[in-house]
Structure 1
């Protein structure tokens, strides 16, 4: 399950991707449009800025903008930039590997084996699924429809 922080980051990045090119969104606009708490959003935007996903301009005409096109923003790395490792177990993490404290043997660990394949499929999808892919499906799905639950292009 993703954190509330990751959910808010995702909503903010989608809103920025939908903004007119060259016109940044002010934090007030993001908060109102996406119903996000300002203090929390400020921290999230700083993380996204530090990771190179967004830029900010001060002043009356300032605001936040994406630094990359939506088809170059992949969901896994973006979530990791605000939330840290996304692996269900530390021994499966590709960015913050750590052997589990109670593990006798990783090769035969039932817990690791139970999650490894599913996590590999999940991670492979998150690493290749772009923000543009998600937005495209959202735009083509009628509101209130369960069609949004259909697999995204290339889903495993």
Structure 2
């Protein structure tokens, strides 16, 4: 399940993409339009900025803006950045692998096999869908 933080990040990114022609957008405008707490949104946008997804400009005419076109921002990247692994079990995670405490042998674990397939299916979608794909639906 996506955290509220990630859901809000997607709402903010969609707003920035829809208003890309306006230039940098103030955090207060995004917060008001998307009904998100300014303080919470500040942390989210700062994280997105530090990862290179957003840029910011200070002073008059300042605010946040997308560093890349929406068609180049993969949904999987945003989810991993804010929520961590996409896999439902740590033993099938590609980027955050951890051995499960209760598992005796991953090679014969049926749950590991099924969750690996779930991960692969989710990744096939999330790595090939971008911010542009969710723009058309919102």
Q: TM-score range by the shorter chain?
A: over 0.9
Cα separation, 2, equivalents of 1:21 and 1:79: 26
* 2:104 aligned residue: 104
Cα separation, 2, equivalents of 1:102 and 1:10: 35
* CA deviation string 1:134-153 (max 9, x = no partner): 213x16xxxxxxxxxxxxxx
1:37 aligns with 2:12: no
Cα separation, 2, equivalents of 1:22 and 1:32: 17
User: TM-score by structure 2 length?
Assistant: 0.94
Cα separation, 2, equivalents of 1:60 and 1:82: 29
Most deviating of 109-118 and 91-100: 109-118
State how 1:101-140 maps to structure 2 within 5 Å. Answer: 101-136=101-136, 138=137
1:48 aligns with 2:48: yes
Q: Helix, strand or coil for the counterpart of 1:21?
A: helix
Highest RCO, 1 vs 2 (Cα 8 Å, sep ≥ 6): 2
Aligned length: 138
* 1:25 aligned residue: 25
Q: CA deviation at 1:54?
A: 0.2
The unaligned stretches of length 5 or more in structure 2 are none
Cα separation, 1, equivalents of 2:102 and 2:39: 38
* CA deviation string 1:43-93 (max 9, x = no partner): 111110111000111112100000000000000011111222221111111
The unaligned stretches of length 5 or more in structure 1 are 140-156
* 1:65 aligned residue: 65
CA contact (8 A) 1:22 1:65 kept: no
User: TM-score by structure 1 length?
Assistant: 0.84
Q: Helix, strand or coil for the counterpart of 2:21?
A: coil
Please provide the CA RMSD for this pair. 1.3
